[in-house]
Structures are given as structure tokens and as C-alpha cells.
Structure 1
Amino acid sequence: MATVAARRLLRPSSFTALSSANRIFSSTASPPPNRSSNTNSPVSFDWSDDDENSSARPSTSPSESPTLPPPYDPFSKKPVVTDPADPTNLQEIFHRMRTEGLTDYAIKMFDGLSKDGLTHEALALFSVIKDKGAMPDVVAHTAVLEAYANAGPGHWRDAVRTYDRMLSTGVAPNAYTLSVLVKGLGASDRWKEAGKYLLDMLDRGMRPNVATCLAAFEAHVRMEKVEEGKELLEKMKKKGFTLDEEAVRSSTVKRGHVFKGVINLLFGK
């Protein structure tokens, strides 16, 4: 039922929502001071002059005629959203965000939340688009964060900086946001940072899925930080979180020393 509702909410006629989303990247608007954690109002990215890779920043020019994507089909076997052909081409990715809007990213977030059993949160996200005609702030920030996370190890600092700025503007992350961050840091072998934000999820009352946990622990194993990984596991257990061995085994590629190392780290086998 959740996916059917999402499909209705993302009909191409939702031009107002997409137009509002495009304004998210306008540098002419500034967020009001002391904003609450409400994620339903427009937001701007104020990229400072000392940011690296200025050509890869989101464009500040609003779109005049965005191309509307097709409606979400919950019965399709194809990926929910097609990933960019070259995830390292940030300039092109941010250009597409500006010209085509953020609906694809909203769909990915909805799908991720739904698969983790957070259906109510997913539907609340899309009710904002439908009822208020605006793209939620959390979608915009997560879209930029995800672009950096997928661009490779050289952009892990940009992903963390985007997350920090998200918090500083009063936008509360959801489980999908933090999952994207942890996975990106893990893939970049930033084991310490991945563990930090995995604990952040638990502190925020979120339950990280198996894939998110594995991204952090696999990074520990690859970087030969097994003892640190065990310390992370103990901290998670003290917060009331445990991993199911069967779920881990079914989600991990069963080959090589990384798989064996992760199983040994998590379950002592």
C-alpha cells in the first residue's frame, strides 16, 4: 500500500513541488536563524568560498523548464532510480539536480525507508510534496551528501561537511540519510568515521540495517582495525543493538578474508 501511495504522490503533474525543489540550490535565499528540526520548508546551500572543487558544487541558477520524471512504478523489476553512469562526474550530477529536480532522490529515500520498515516516515515524507508543494529539506541535503558519498574516497570530507551543514541549518536526518553516509564512509575505508555515524544512528533512536552495519565493519577489517571494530560492536550492544548472524551471512559476499574477518569480528567464529 505504501508504494502505491507513493506512486500517486509522484505523478508528473506535481510541477509545483519540483519547481520548489529547484530553488533549494539558489544562493539568494538564506535559512532563517534558529530554525527548528522541521524538514518541510525550503533550504539553501551556502557553500563557502574556501570549499574545494568549486566546479563540482551544486549550481546556484534555478531551472526554467525542469524535465519531469515518469511516475514511480512499484511493480517494476528495474531499479527504483537509475544511478548516474559516472558517479565521479559531480558537475554533471549537480547540473541534473538543478534542471531535473530532486524527485528521483525522494523516490530513493522513500524506497529505502520502506524497505527498512519505516513506512509511516516514508509516507509522511511524500505527503509534504503532495500537500505543501515543496520538497522536504532532508531530501535536498541527502541528495548532495549521496552524490559526494558515491563519488569515491576523495570526497568523503565533502559528504561529512554536507551532513554537518545539514545539522547546522536545523534539518533532522532520517535513517536513509545516515545509512548513505555510513556506507559512503565505509566504502572509502574511513572506518573511524563510519563507526562514529553508526553510533549516531543508535543515539537518534534509529536501527541501522544489516548493509549499513556491514559497510562499517568491513572497513574495519580491510584496514586491519579489528580491535577497534570489536570496541564499536560493544558500544552498539550497550545501546541495545545486536546483529543477527543469519542476516549478516545472507547479506555478505561469502568469499575472501574480509568475509571471514567480519564473521569472526562480529560473532567470534
Structure 2
Amino acid sequence: MAAAAVRRLLRGASSTSVSNTSRLLSSTTSPPPHRSPNTNSPVAFDWSDDDADGSSHLPPSTEKKDELPPPYYDPFNKKPAIAEPSDPTNLQEVFHKMRKEGLTDYAIKMFDGLSKDGLTHEALALFAVIKDRGSMPDVVAHTAVLEAYASAGPAHWRDAVRTYDRMLASGVMPNAYTLAVLVRGLAASDRCAEAGKYLVEMLDRGMRPNVATYLAAFEAYLRMEKVEEGKALLETMKGKGFRPDEEAVRGGTVKRGQVFDGLMKLLFGK
């Protein structure tokens, strides 16, 4: 399995990345003007309120990394790359596990997501940083924290946005997976305006949101009965070259009835 291959490779990088990323969210200092977007930086991560024992540093792994070729991903495989937390709202447990076990699973999810969206070059570049340098890219660490907040429910949507803002302030550039996680998390929290804002940012950054991401946002507009605002967002996105894929929308929309009809009317005027 491709996920297993990546997991074996990442063992060496995972433990060292924990000590470098265990203090991020407490940082209030300005970052240096130039910083690589690819590898771990000295920026502080902090899951401080979520784990009281203070033991965030694991000893470096002495296991020799496997010399593996880039794994192959089947884009038609619907099985998740890794298991989701049993209770994503329990942030103390999520962050404790992140400290203890490292960021390997999050790197696998990002690699898998980029690959299945056809972003092979980005996925292999991520893999190369880990394989060749033995370090976890900063984008993985920041996105892991963002995803934890995004998955924890509506009470934490501001934390997700704040994490994203601090990521940018630290000089770490998001990829399409990062922004998709943020958009879907905001949409699930019924923050449709915020989800729409980051959909537009994806386009401004030259990224094409996948069908699951833009459907999540437009479904939020429908739930909140803000159809006109949703139409305005669509027109803004079209002005930036976006066109919804009707076949993909039909295939990606598991709901039918009023929600499906509303989406078709909003996106395609049908």
C-alpha cells in the first residue's frame, strides 16, 4: 500500500519534526524576512493549553530510513489515507497524539490529497523534501494544527483562521490541501462568507478547488439561506477563471432533494 510505504519513509523525519514544531502557536515575534517554505523553521508551535505534561520532545529516531521510490497513488481509491481521530472535538487528545506520534499521518494525508487532485508535482516535491532532507516540511506542521481546529467544530473556526494567518506570517506558503481543509472546516461550521473568502484566495493563488471543497462552501450558503451571496461568490470566482464541473458536481453530491436542486440552480441555473 502506498500509505504504508510513505509511513515507513517518514519515521525518521517524524520524531525530529516534533521537537521543531512543538511551540508554533505561541509565537508573537516577527519572522525573518526570508524563509524557505519547504522545511522546518525555528517558528514556535504551541499546543500549550491542550497538554499539561510539557514533555513535547521525543528522542531522535535511530531507525534507518527506507530508500523507497515515490509511491503510486490510485486516484479512484476512496479509502482514507489514514484513520481520522475517534473524537476530533477532543483537542487535548488530538494534540497530545500529535506530539507523541509526530506528523507522519498528516504528511500522508496531504500527499494523498494532492495526488488525488492531480497535483502530482506538488505531492512529489513534498515527498522529496522528506526523503532527501529528512525533515518535515513546515506546511505539514501548520496544516496539521489548522486541520485539528477545523475538525473540532464551530466553536473553533476562529482558531483555524488564526492558525492560517500565523502560518502566512511565519513565511510558510499554503498548498491546495491546506486551503481545502480550511474552506471545508469553515463551511461545516456554517461560516459561509469566510469559506467563500478562502475559495477566492485559492483562485488568486493559482489553485483550482476540487469539487468537494467548492460544494462544501456552496452548500453552506444554501443552509444559511444566503443564496444571493452564494451567487455573488460564484460570479467572482468565474471572473477569475473558475467554472463548476456539472458532471463532477452530480457525482460528488451524495444528497438529493432540496439540497441537490438548490446546488444545481445556484451553480448552473437549472
TM surpasses 0.5: yes
Aligned to 1:45: 44
Note if contact 1:144-1:162 (Cα within 8 Å) is conserved in structure 2: yes
Aligned to 1:11, what secondary structure does the other structure show? helix
Aligned to 1:108: 109
Aligned to 1:247: 248
| CA–CA separation in structure 2 for the residues paired with 1:22 and 1:200 | 30
Structure 1 residue 54: Cα displacement? 2.8
User: Deviations along 1:116-168, whole A, 9 cap, x unmatched?
Assistant: 10011101101111111100000000000001111111110000000000000
Cα separation, partners in 2 of 1:119 and 1:151, compared to 1, 3 Å:
same
Aligned to 1:193: 194
| CA–CA separation in structure 1 for the residues paired with 2:218 and 2:104 | 32
Task: Identify which range, 31-40 or 145-154, moves more after superposition.
Answer: 31-40
Aligned partner of 1:196: which letter?
K
Aligned to 1:61: 56
Aligned to 1:142, what secondary structure does the other structure show? helix
Aligned to 1:11: 8
Question: What does 1:175-190 align with in structure 2 at a 5 Å threshold?
Answer: 175-190=176-191
Aligned to 1:157: 158
Aligned partner of 2:8: which letter?
R
Aligned partner of 1:24: which letter?
N
Which runs of 5 or more structure 1 residues have no equivalent in the other structure? Answer: none
Aligned to 2:41, what secondary structure does the other structure show? coil
Residues matched between the structures, number: 259
Aligned to 1:264: 265
| CA–CA separation in structure 2 for the residues paired with 1:216 and 1:127 | 32
Task: Identify which range, 53-62 or 120-129, moves more after superposition.
Answer: 53-62
Aligned to 2:125: 124
Question: What does 1:201-220 align with in structure 2 at a 5 Å threshold?
Answer: 201-220=202-221
Structure 1 residue 73: Cα displacement? 9.1
Structure 1 residue 39: Cα displacement? 2.4
Aligned partner of 2:105: which letter?
D
Aligned partner of 1:44: which letter?
V
Cα separation, partners in 2 of 1:235 and 1:119, compared to 1, 3 Å:
same
Aligned partner of 2:43: which letter?
S
Cα separation, partners in 2 of 1:122 and 1:212, compared to 1, 3 Å:
same
CA RMSD of aligned residues (A): 3.0
| CA–CA separation in structure 2 for the residues paired with 1:224 and 1:139 | 35
| CA–CA separation in structure 2 for the residues paired with 1:122 and 1:219 | 29
User: Deviations along 1:67-89, whole A, 9 cap, x unmatched?
Assistant: x9xx9896898531000000001
| CA–CA separation in structure 2 for the residues paired with 1:35 and 1:129 | 21
Aligned to 2:84: 83
TM-score normalised to structure 2 length = 0.86
Cα separation, partners in 2 of 1:77 and 1:191, compared to 1, 3 Å:
closer
User: Deviations along 1:212-246, whole A, 9 cap, x unmatched?
Assistant: 00011000000001000000000111101101111
| CA–CA separation in structure 2 for the residues paired with 1:60 and 1:240 | 48
| CA–CA separation in structure 1 for the residues paired with 2:230 and 2:78 | 36
TM-score normalised to structure 1 length = 0.86
| CA–CA separation in structure 2 for the residues paired with 1:238 and 1:117 | 23
Aligned to 1:192, what secondary structure does the other structure show? helix
| CA–CA separation in structure 2 for the residues paired with 1:102 and 1:90 | 15
Aligned to 2:224: 223
Aligned partner of 1:261: which letter?
G
Note if contact 1:37-1:172 (Cα within 8 Å) is conserved in structure 2: no
Cα separation, partners in 2 of 1:256 and 1:10, compared to 1, 3 Å:
same
Structure 1 residue 7: Cα displacement? 5.7
Match 1:21 to one of 17, 23, 30 = 17
Aligned partner of 1:123: which letter?
L
User: Deviations along 1:12-65, whole A, 9 cap, x unmatched?
Assistant: 5x5431122111333399885113352223343355xxx9x9337996721247
Aligned partner of 1:22: which letter?
V
User: Deviations along 1:92-116, whole A, 9 cap, x unmatched?
Assistant: 1111111101010000000000001
| CA–CA separation in structure 1 for the residues paired with 2:80 and 2:49 | 31
Note if contact 1:22-1:63 (Cα within 8 Å) is conserved in structure 2: yes
Q: Identity over the aligned pairs, expressed in percent?
A: 64
Which runs of 5 or more structure 2 residues have no equivalent in the other structure? Answer: none
Q: Is residue 2:31 matched to residue 1:36? A: no
